[in-house]
Amino acid sequence: MDSHDGAKQIFLPEHPELDPFAGLIFEKLIESTKLANELPSSDDFAYYNTFKPFRGQVQVVGKKILDLANKFLRHRKPKGDVLENIDDVTESYDSVVDLMDEIVEDVVCDPSLFYSLHFKIK
């Protein structure tokens, strides 16, 4: 990225240039889409959930999703309500999506926010 005076600017500390970073994000998006397509449908979920190893992994991933959703919520609204179980995430889906949209818009306006947000939610 070039600044107005022609000097090279660093996009992000770990990713000095935008194009390779965008390519990496695109690869991750494709990979995520492929993995999402391999998830069991809602019709099959009840069957798969009868198997203890599957159910255990779903609970582990559910806890990670809940923790991450709460980190994002606390980042935006430190004194706001927290989600207590994965069903709360499902019920609050629209609110969580709206919050993520706000965060993405902020990062688009100021890419340096990505770096600071990355360390706050880890």
DSSP characters over 48-80 = HTTSHHHHHHHHHHHHHHHHHHHHHHHHH-TTS
pLDDT at position 80, please?
64
Whether 109 and 56 map to the same domain: the answer is: yes
Q: Show pLDDT as tens, one digit a residue, over the chain (122 residues).
A: 545 555 566 666 777 787 888 888 899 999 989 988 888 888 888 898 899 999 999 889 888 888 887 777 777 766 666 677 667 767 777 777 887 788 778 767 776 666 665 555 55
Structure tokens at 82: 């927290």
Per-residue pLDDT, 95: 77
Q: What is the pLDDT of residue 27?
A: 92
Are 23 and 75 contained in the same domain? no
Based on the domain organization, do 54 and 111 belong to the same domain? yes
How many domains does the chain fold into?
2
C-alpha distances in Å from residue 27, one per residue of 32, 64, 114:
9, 22, 18
| Domain, as residue range, for 114 | 47-121
Q: Are residues 114 and 56 in the same domain?
A: yes
Same domain, 89 and 115: yes
pTM metric for this prediction: 0.52
Task: Say yes or no: 19 and 59 in one domain.
Answer: no
